[in-house]
Each structure stands twice: as C-alpha cells, then as structure tokens.
Amino acid sequence: MKDIKYLLAYTIPVSCLIALELKGLFSFLTVVYAFGFIPLLELVFSSSESSYAEEVKSNRLKNVLFDWMLYLNLPILLAILAYGLLVITSQDLASYELVGLVFSIGIVAGTNGINVAHELGHRQTKTEQLLAKLLLLPSLYMHFFIEHNLGHHRNIGTPEDPATARKNQSVYHFWFTSIIGQIRSAHQIQKRLLEKNGKGFWSLQNELLLFFFVELGYLALLFLSFGVQGLIFGLFIALVGVLLLETINYIEHYGLVRKKVNDRYERVTPAHSWNSNHVIGRMVLYELTRHSDHHHRASKKYQILESIESSPQLPFGYTTCMVLSLITPLWFSLMNSRIS
C-alpha cells in the first residue's frame, strides 16, 4: 500500500488544473505549491529509509504499478498542455494570470514531462524510449535523450560535460552554458554515431534530424490549433520546462569534479552527484533526488534507488535548493564549504 506514495507526483498536474480552473491569483498555484508548500513539508517530514532488502527490490521490480505510474504522465501532460493553451487563448485573462498559468503549465512540463522522460530514457525497451522522447516534445528538448544518455553520464564531473555546474558558477550563467553546450554535444555525439555506422546526415538513423522535424511539426500543430498566441505561449511553456530541468542539473552536480589520473578521469562514483533523501521531493520526482545512486548505476529503476550516505548530501530538498540557487551569494555561502 505504501508504494502508492509515488502518486504524490500527480499533485503537480492537479495543482495546475486547479490554477486553470480558478485563475486569478490561483494562476500561480503550481509555483507556490512546488516551491513553497513542498519545501515546508520537507522541513516537517524526514526519511530514514536508505536501502532495501534484496527481496523487497525483487518485488518492486516485478510490480508493474511503478511503470504505469510513469506511463500515465504522457496523457496527463498532453491533456494539461492542450487544455491550458485553450484556456489561455480563448479567455480574456489579465497579464499576471497569463504569467502564472505559463509557469504552472511549464512546471508540469518539467516535472511530469522531462523528469519522467529522464527515467524512461534509461530503459531498454523501444516503447519506453519512445514515451521518453514524446515527454520531451512539449519542452522542445528531444536532443536531451541523446546527450544525457551518451554524453552526460560519460562526462559527468569533467570540463567536457556542459550539465555539470562549476564551483562559483551562478545558475543564471549555467542556464546558457548548459543549454548551448548540450545542443552542441548532442550534435557531436550524433555525428560520431553516423560516421561509425557509415551513414550520412540525411540518414533515417540521424535521430537529431528526426527530432527537429517532429518538434517543427509540433509547433505547426500549436499554430494551427491555437493561432499565433498559442504558438508563442507554447514556446514560453517550453522555456519554463527547460529552465526547471537546467536548475535541477545545476544543483545535482554543482562544484563536484572527477580527478584526472594518468591522463584519464577517475571512474564515476556516488561522490560525483549531490544526494537528497528528503521524502516529499523523492516521491514527487520519482526518486530523482537519489541522484548519486542513479549515476552509480544508471540502469536501476527509480523504485529501487537507494540513498548512499557516503555521497555528498544537499542541505535541503531539491525544491528548496532550487529556490536557494537563484540567490547566488546565499547559494555559494551554503554550498562552497561542502565541496571538498
């Protein structure tokens, strides 16, 4: 019964639906819930669960409930996106309401979209990988599927990884370097894969090219369905989702580096990712906060990820740290002393 606690992840889209229905100041409900209410809950609730017995792991891996809780995020995301754009483009809303709704929908795109895509993107079945790519579509970040799996996990903690924030790098600067760097990295990876297989740029094996046309088709669909206004707001929603992801990237590896030994980087260990065992964030983000174990063994499904106590520990939960990262001097003061 306790496994249904991951249904808490659906409270993000529920808060967005309430925002779309009530509007007014409630337009910002998802923002307040994610970055106000959840941090407060994490101060109240704690978790001592750090590992699972082998029998528990086996049972959890056999339980399809964990997979279906992920799969259902795709129809939920698409439904909220369509309904949200319909509300935005068909009703006479104040400017502040538009801003609030764009942020609320964008947070859903980042948490129930990109975050779930991250989990499914590591799966081996073509169906789950397809779901991952579709979940990235509303944020126009399909290249993440290539760069994250073939770039970030290999280069984490090195200058070659744009998704690893450097010590004393602000989150605002990181947004630019990470977004641009990951696009460039994805293109380099795709080029190497094509050359290795003896294929040219226009090959059907060029996933980046396919992603480009799919995203172009998505934008055309927004324009045909909701007009210019819908297209513009769709782009802003995508931007919010992307910035949410990149802020998470920022706190996950801030200041952590892999040393070079004999011209080769040391192997990836739990010491190269910040861990958080704060219970509410764990449930809402499908254990993304146990990031050290994820990078230690990327193939592990979220329901059996464990807290590695020897890994660097964030002082607060993910959502709290994301807010703190926006206050650059406070973030540096809080985190730099924790970096060995």
State the pLDDT at residue 84.
98
| Alpha carbon distance 241, 238 (integer Å) | 5
| Alpha carbon distance 181, 187 (integer Å) | 10
State the pLDDT at residue 1.
56
The dihedral built from the CA positions of residue 84, 132, 265 and 334, taken in this order, carries a sign that is positive
State the pLDDT at residue 247.
98
State the pLDDT at residue 47.
62
pLDDT profile of the chain (340 residues), mean per 10: 85 98 98 96 74 88 95 98 98 98 98 98 96 98 97 96 97 98 97 93 92 98 98 98 98 95 90 91 92 89 90 93 97 94
Range of the domain at 127: 2-195+203-338
Number of domains in the chain: 1
State the pLDDT at residue 44.
83
Which segments of the chain does DSSP mark as H helices, in order? 11-22, 29-32, 38-44, 54-62, 65-71, 73-90, 95-108, 116-121, 126-136, 144-147, 153-155, 171-196, 207-253, 279-284, 291-296, 318-325, 328-335
State the pLDDT at residue 22.
97
State the pLDDT at residue 30.
98
State the pLDDT at residue 201.
85
State the pLDDT at residue 49.
61
pTM over 0.85: yes
